Amino acid sequence: MTDQLKDLEDEVAARTAALNTQAELDALYTSVLGRKGGRLSQIMAGVGKLPKEERAEFGQRANESKLRIESSFASAALRLRDAGLRSELAKTYDVTFPATAPKRGSIHILRRTLNDVVSFFRSRGFAVVLGPEVESEYYNFEAMNIPADHPSREAMDTFYLPSGALLRTHTSPMQVRAMLQHPPPIAILVPGKVYRRDALDARHAFMFHQFEGLQVGRGVTFAHLKGFVGDLCRHLYGPERRTRFRPSYFQFTEPSAEVDVSCGVCAGSGCRSCGGAGWLEMGGSGMVHPHVLRSAGYDPELYTGWAFGLGIERIALVRHNIDDIRLLTENQPAFVEQFQ
């Protein structure tokens, strides 16, 4: 049996020195040192046939043989690795061959839409201001003429935090914050994220983007609001698009109106995109409620103002005929690359 060990050592040393591929080395390793059916294991299985006084010496001899066999395999693996590296280094490449053009990123569709909105407001002298996403109940509700018993203050509509603060449900709190900091007249645009406890589907998300437009001064009327919103919609959707105002109700404006824009697919005649109505809802608007002006320290007998809020996602959906709001945040390359 000792001779068998010596013969196996010599055979492994010779064969590993002649191998040319890693696959051949792996196959030989399994046949020699494999736990089940390996040739070394088969030799070791005969130890029970030896006299007791020879078993210890044979076991020691077998361990030494195993170490030498493993050393042969390690040397062969190192030799094959070095040969592979030398082969790679010996290759030549045509550096003049045209390379694959790298993929270029682009401005996200939501950022593009917001940039268009911001450029429109700035061209008309509006200041762009940002507000906190974590708000107090006072600025989010009370200052906006929304009392404690109003349905929008229920837990199912708002994300409340353990501290008693909340994630703002609209960008409107910045109306009062800005008016408290600046005397009239004032004209601001407030873009930002808002949060509502809506179930995620093709038309709703629990986090989305809004922008708030506000103008307060002497002699500001609803006609100014209609003219401004009409110009904005034509800027965003094209000169052929029409707008309309539908009577509505919001706690922080009086009178209030929903803003619709004519469907770009059917030009207002009715189709699947607009549900047959010919119009697409964009957001809410109205004249700033006297209570909101008083909360900011403005005298409603001297100053009036308009405000409206639209969703950035909704604008992007309408502009590009996208039927699922989730596509805007899933960042699928096939979708994003369409807007480069």
Q: Cis (ω within 30 of 0) for the bond into 102?
A: no
Q: Look up the pTM and report it.
A: 0.67
* The predicted structure's pLDDT at residue 5: 75
Matching CATH number, 109-339, of 3.60.21.10, 3.40.50.10470, 3.30.830.10, 3.30.930.10: 3.30.930.10
Q: Is the pLDDT of residue 178 over 90?
A: yes
Q: Map out the domains of the chain as residue ranges.
A: 2-90, 109-339
Closest Cα to residue 186, out of 220, 235, 135?
A: 220
End-to-end CA distance of the chain: 75
Q: State both tokens at 85.
A: 């590296």
Q: Is the pLDDT of residue 156 over 70?
A: no
**199 versus 232: which is more confidently predicted?**
232
* The predicted structure's pLDDT at residue 186: 96
Per-residue pLDDT band at 84 (split at 50, 70, 90): confident
**Mean pLDDT lowest for which of 50-54, 206-210, 241-245?**
50-54
**338 versus 143: which is more confidently predicted?**
143
Per-residue pLDDT band at 26 (split at 50, 70, 90): confident
What contacts 24+ positions apart, CB below 8 Å, involve 44-51?
A: 46/1, 47/1, 50/1
Q: Rounded to the nearest 5°, which phi and psi values hold at 334?
A: -60, -30
Mean pLDDT computed over 190-210: 90
